[in-house]
Structure 1
């Protein structure tokens, strides 16, 4: 039986499900048709929600062997604009076509002292701290098994399901409880009530933020600044324990992701990616693919490490002010360069003359 289970697991790494997705691209409303291949539905749902305003077709096409060339399109999915394959990085050697490999999840850390210095001068963080003081948030630490169960049932599951819907990737209660002996529950208090909390796991002598939740999943606590308080008090607490860095856990690899951008505000530096990524092939130069590329800047993981990638309209090049915004949003610590792809246009390449913390390359696409 053990051999059979191992064999099935091995096969699952080569045989993936496929879907045909068709609908209106989220920002432009242009029609977009995607052939999507992946092992599960969570990343598929995430990608679908990211890309489409509404989906007119979500058709399951069956299962396919990844022994076929990546980017292979079966007859029943002909006429697609994009092919997207959710695969482990080691499969990339099989790809013979130009493509982008976008991490499904990226990891990052913060330097505690550096982030506390940021908190004194970065206006967006100073605003968060004023809100914390206004609402009188404090924090407490719990270690009892019962409190972890309460957190899971009353905070974590409601918040993740309410916030992420059909793309929620939930830890199991068993998985959290298995780490209780090496964990703490940091709770943000409003008076005597815990309104948000997170599980801090101490592994390899480093704190890792496993998961967080909000009481009843109620966004009124988020609007009041409870998660801001969580970000701040974790720094205070872990500094008091003598730690220098915090592993912030995973974020999505698309640069417009709200969680990633919020972590960036608090000083995240990218450290690596998880096993899987979205391998994206552009199959047709349509209005839909153009809109998708212009609307969804992403992290690229390659031999040279992380790059931030964005696309600009060759007929309407970004102004100096827009270029400054690009640097501010996309130059995340941990990337090695900012790649700007210019779509169309008959003129010269964008002259990116602003100073940036990383090299900037402009290419046609």
Structure 2
């Protein structure tokens, strides 16, 4: 095995591994001297501010969505970001009691989050995973009849078929013509993904590419890793041809999921992992995946014991607008996942954003008039 292969697999294990890799990463994250970050988001008019403190991954995974919510849902317009000197844990505890912004978000270990003041706060999983059990007898049994009929109609219209890709040229085509352009077009400078070395040595060498063909051309695909002796398929990287929006409008991305489920059922796979996600069900990708009825749970990698603490420091119209516009997946005192919607007398809960389903213990509506009266 070459040094490049070993290096790529080690990097994949460090960032996404389970078992011993996840345990080692968790221990490393808690070593003395590990640095936190401190970033403050604020509107030009001063209507709403949000301070994130904690592990650096929060700036990558949490803040892009929260910043978008501030700008579009809370109606505060342009949002600036300012980095401050990284705090110590003692300073973070002090900030939790006297937040430096309208909203304080802390990302860290479950044990640390439990030591922060509970008033005016909720605790979220840092990341979630969505896992679908595959039944070879009825692969779409968990999907609603209406959803199945809609996909069947699109499939006939576009002539979609599944093409497995197991040659290096297949991976090169997917990575260069689909994945990279898609990440660039959808996420711009905030795109995050696996580099070529990990894609080749840690994913493709343990899996394959599944393409969606539309007539004589490949229009979408997913790079999947097979684990547990081939019983679990993990959808790792996705893309559409040249990152073109037309393939989202046509439903080709939806076809990636359906055809992957079919391929899995035909090849002895018993579970499909739809990969990680943020604890905010208002995101479009979450709403699509939940229609396939996967089980929502805590991840199995090094994020499994990390949590997000969110506290409202002030009761203002902008804070209320933000919380109502941002349904969340939170955890209860037994670490079970709960769908949480905020509301008040003039702001009804977002009934258009559903988060219920397998793995979600309950859906609760939180009255802001009570929530924001805590000390």
Q: TM-score, normalised by structure 2?
A: 0.79
Cα offset, 1:56, TM superposition: 4.4
Other structure's SS at 1:281 match: strand
Q: Tell me, yes or no, if structure 1 residue 108 matches structure 2 residue 158.
A: no
- Residues 290 and 115 (structure 1 numbering): CA distance in 2 closer, same or farther, change over 3 Å? farther
Partner of 2:261: 235
For 1:239 and 1:247, the matched residues in 2 are separated by: 13
Q: How many residues align?
A: 331
User: Within the alignment, does 1:285 sit opposite 2:304 as a pair?
Assistant: no
Which stretches in structure 1 are left out of the alignment for 5+ residues? Answer: 1-5, 346-361
Residue of structure 2 aligned with 1:173, choices 196, 207, 228: 196
Aligned to 2:18: none
Q: Which has the higher contact order (CA 8 A, sep 6+)?
A: 2
> Do the aligned partners of residues 94 and 260 (structure 1) sit closer, same or farther apart at CA in structure 2, a change above 3 Å counting?
same
Counterpart position of 1:352: none
Partner of 2:341: 310
Q: Pick one of 45, 49, 55 that aligns with 2:64.
A: 45
1:1-365 equivalences in 2 (<5 Å):
14-23=34-43, 31-38=47-54, 39-40=56-57, 41-43=59-61, 44-53=63-72, 54-70=77-93, 72=95, 78=100, 80-98=101-119, 99-113=121-135, 116-119=140-143, 121-179=144-202, 180-205=204-229, 206-273=232-299, 274-275=303-304, 276-302=306-332, 303-315=334-346, 329-344=354-369
Q: 1:166 to 1:94 in 2, by over 3 A?
A: farther
1:356 corresponds to which residue?
A: none
Q: Which digits, 9 at most, give the CA deviation of each residue in 1:146-174, with x for residues without a partner?
A: 32122112111211222123432211211
Q: Deviations over 1:216-244 (max 9, x none)?
A: 11110111111121111111111111222
In 1, are the aligned partners of 2:36 and 2:53 still within 8 Å (CA)? Answer: yes
Q: TM-score with structure 1 length normalisation?
A: 0.81
Structure 2 gap ranges (5+)? 1-24
Deviation at 1:110, TM superposition (A): 1.1
SS of the residue corresponding to residue 357 of structure 2 reads: coil
TM-aligned CA distance change 1:250 to 1:285, over 3 Å:
same
Give per-residue Cα distances to partners, 1:222-277, cap 9 Å, x unaligned. Answer: 11111121111111111111222211111221011111111111121113133444
